[in-house]
Amino acid sequence: MNETKHECIVLRTRNTGEMNKIVILFSRESGKESVIAYGARKMQNRFGSSLEIFTHGNALIKEGRKTGMPTLDQMDIISSSYDLFSDYTVSAHLYYYSELLNTILQDGLTEENIFRLTIEMLRGFKLSLSADLVSAYFELWLLKFIGALPDYKICHHCKRPLSNQQFLYASVEGYLFCKECERNGVEKGKQFNGNMYNIIGIIFENKIDNAILRNLKVGKTDVTEWTNLLFEQTLEKELKSFRNLRAIREY
């Protein structure tokens, strides 16, 4: 039978039958794919802790037999994320990102940029960077990659450049516009934190382990109040796992 090796991240699992699990993988080469792990619920099974959420590893996958679903034969861990779940704030973020990625990614569609971003997000948490920084980084880039990030340099209405003191966002659509347009009665919006413009610029210019980024002060809602609105707008719903996170972020 045809067996292939996939570098992947475990997004989520669910039980099936008495002893088995369906595992949703995010593969670097082939995007989201569901596989079945026979015997994964037996005590002392061969998968050990490799099927925990956000395990990064190499999976050996066999083409499907009767069920049509491919079989997960083996999972070799490159990097485990298990320890991250002992931190309540970090785990609330990770459960949300698991659901978010599972909702956004499409079966079989390669998303290598998002794959690398997910690895960087995990690395940020493993480096114990602030959850507010890691989430701003992950969410801004994810929005950019899926084409859902509005222009943050130019006013949506008058097309003049935005600056760090002078912009607002539309509380339904999420696009940005200037104070001048609000004064002229075009639209009323929500005021951004003044620091936000700089934060976005720095995030898009630096890798997550860069010192400039590491020292960047990001408040709880500086960026994510806006990015969450954009995700809700894009997905047309609020994700279940976001409720927990909302309580932590105190919007």
158 binds Zn ion (CB under 5 A): yes
Q: Is the dihedral of CA 142, 6, 209, 131 positive or negative?
A: positive
For residue 34, report the phi and psi dihedrals to the nearest 5 degrees: -100, 135
Give the binding range for Zn ion (CB under 5 A) out of 56-64, 145-153, 161-169, 173-181.
173-181
Q: Which of 41, 123, 144, 157: binder of Zn ion (CB under 5 A)?
A: 157
Shortest approach of Zn ion to residue 37 CB, angstroms? Answer: 54
Can residue 36 be called a binding residue for Zn ion (CB under 5 A)?
A: no
Question: Of the candidates 35, 37, 129, 178, which one interacts with Zn ion according to CB under 5 A?
Answer: 178
Whether the CA torsion 162, 163, 167, 172 is positive or negative: it is positive
Interface with Zn ion: number of residues (CB under 5 A): 5
Single out the residue of 169, 105, 175, 90 nearest to residue 135, CA to CA. 90
165 binds Zn ion (CB under 5 A): no
Is position 162 an interface residue for Zn ion (rule: CB under 5 A)? no
Closest CA to 52 of 98, 104, 3, 101: 98
Interface with Zn ion (CB under 5 A), residue from 22, 53, 162, 181? 181
Q: For residue 62, count other CB atoms closer than 10 A to its CB.
A: 16
Q: Which residue ranges make up the site for Zn ion (CB under 5 A)?
A: 155, 157-158, 178, 181
